[in-house]
């Protein structure tokens, strides 16, 4: 598939920080591309340069093979991590306002239905819940029927139900053939929505590929997890690493390891066996937990 967006050797230097330090990648049309990284990794700076909000210090960004020009903003939709809207405007008035800034776009009613805004269309936008507000901001990002949609940590701060509802909307947008560039702190979100991810750290991409391929490349083992109480003081001797109240052991041969534990007289009644996740990959690559930040 042709690249809708191509990024080559992108750099961004601020007076005291080198935020992005040589990033290159391509996003194929109709795919969802995820940028992951701990706080301060440079993903928000990167996405803001892709959005045309920040000027790169060096490097180039091509949209359909062309440098970003005045036409670009007509063709992209953006949902910022945090966005203020004008006070005292209702949801409907906000949609109409942003709709009027573009030459083309779907009917307001269509957006309302697609983003499920019908119930609070005439409510002051300051009085929306977190999930409702994010749906309004998504509708505003779609107001020009963009080919390319940027979502910068769109579900941060939402409760699990609101987050799942939002994922449904993003899946629906993907199904319509739109290209999405997403940054997120949530590995589950990246795994479920993204066709390809790039993990950033210290302004560089340190791993890139489909989530499944990256996991297969980096791991050939599974994780055994037991409550620490079931191992007592033998955890280290049995090869387990302590994580809070639990202990984990990686193994490429689950049968062998389980047999060894049984031989050692460990109760496996509460044993959990799980495959490796993106979070494991992230911690392995960056040495930091995504949620706590680096």
Partner 1 sequence: MRRLWAVTVARSLEFLRDTSSLGWNLVFPLVLVAGMAMIFSGPGQPLFKAAVIAPPGAALDGTLHPFLATPHVQFYAERSVEEALPKVQRHRIDMLLDLRSVPGKYWINEQSPKGTTLERILAGTPGAKLERGTSNGAQIRYVDWLAPGILGMNMMFSCLFGIGYVIVRYRKSGYLKRLNATPMRAIEFIAAQLISRLVLIMAITVIVFVATNAFLHFRMEGSYLDLFLVTLVGAVAMIALGLTVSARVTSEELAGGLLNLLSSPMMVVSGVFFSMDGAPPILQAAAKIFPLTHLIDAARAIMLDGAGLAQIAPQLAVLGGMAALFLAIGAGLFRWTQD
| Chain residues in the site for partner 1 (CB under 8 A) | 51-54, 70, 73-74, 76, 78, 80, 82-86, 98, 101-103, 140
| Least Å from the CB of residue 185 to partner 1 | 19
| Least Å from the CB of residue 45 to partner 1 | 11
| Least Å from the CB of residue 54 to partner 1 | 7
- In the complex with partner 1, which residue's Cβ is closer, 57 or 277? 57
Residue located via tokens 């490429």 = 252
User: Cα separations (Å) of 92 from 76, 97, 111, 144, 166?
Assistant: 21, 9, 10, 15, 20
- In the complex with partner 1, which residue's Cβ is closer, 51 or 147? 51
- In the complex with partner 1, which residue's Cβ is closer, 23 or 85? 85
* Cβ-contact 178, 201 below 8 angstroms: no
| Least Å from the CB of residue 293 to partner 1 | 21
- In the complex with partner 1, which residue's Cβ is closer, 15 or 177? 15
Phi, psi of 65 (to 5 degrees): 85, -5
| Least Å from the CB of residue 276 to partner 1 | 37
- In the complex with partner 1, which residue's Cβ is closer, 101 or 283? 101
Would you give the DSSP letter of residue 232?
G
Residue located via tokens 């109480």 = 229
Does an H or E element contain 212, and which?
Answer: helix 211-218
Residue 212 contacts by C-beta under 8 Å, 6 or more apart in sequence?
A: none
Q: Could you give the angle at the alpha carbon of 209 between the alpha carbons of 63 and 145, nearest 5°?
A: 35
Would you give the DSSP letter of residue 176?
T
- In the complex with partner 1, which residue's Cβ is closer, 78 or 278? 78
| Least Å from the CB of residue 140 to partner 1 | 8
* Cβ-contact 169, 114 below 8 angstroms: yes
Phi, psi of 81 (to 5 degrees): -60, -45
- In the complex with partner 1, which residue's Cβ is closer, 19 or 169? 19
Per DSSP, the three-state class of 69 is: coil
* Cβ-contact 49, 61 below 8 angstroms: yes
| Least Å from the CB of residue 96 to partner 1 | 14
């Amino acid at each position: 598939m042709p690249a809708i967006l191509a990024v080559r050797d992108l750099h961004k230097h601020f007076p005291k920080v080198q935020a992005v330090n040589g990033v290159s990648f391509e996003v194929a049309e109709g795919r969802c591309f995820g940028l992951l990284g701990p706080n301060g990794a440079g993903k928000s700076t990167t996405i803001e340069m892709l959005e045309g909000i920040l000027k790169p210090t060096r490097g180039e960004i091509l949209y359909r093979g062309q440098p970003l020009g005045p036409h670009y903003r007509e063709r992209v939709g953006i949902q910022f991590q945090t966005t203020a809207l004008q006070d005292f405007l209702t949801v409907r008035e906000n949609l109409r306002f942003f709709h009027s800034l573009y030459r083309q776009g779907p009917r307001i009613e269509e957006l309302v239905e697609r983003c499920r805004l019908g119930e609070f269309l005439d409510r002051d936008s300051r009085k929306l819940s977190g999930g409702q507000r994010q749906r309004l901001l998504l509708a505003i990002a779609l107001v020009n029927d963009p080919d390319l949609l940027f979502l910068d940590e769109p579900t941060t701060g939402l409760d699990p139900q609101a987050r799942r509802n939002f994922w449904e909307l993003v899946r629906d947008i993907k199904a319509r053939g739109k290209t999405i560039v997403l940054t997120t702190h949530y590995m589950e979100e990246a795994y479920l929505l993204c066709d390809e991810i790039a993990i950033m750290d210290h302004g560089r991409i340190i791993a890139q590929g489909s989530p499944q391929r990256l996991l297969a490349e980096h791991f050939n083992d599974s994780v055994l997890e037991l409550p620490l109480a079931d191992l007592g003081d033998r955890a280290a001797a049995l090869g387990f690493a302590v994580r809070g109240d639990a202990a984990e052991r990686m193994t490429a041969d689950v049968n062998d390891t389980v047999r060894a534990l049984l031989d050692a007289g460990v109760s496996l009644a509460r044993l959990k066996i799980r495959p490796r996740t993106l979070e494991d990959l992230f911690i392995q690559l960056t040495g930091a937990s995504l949620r706590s930040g680096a």
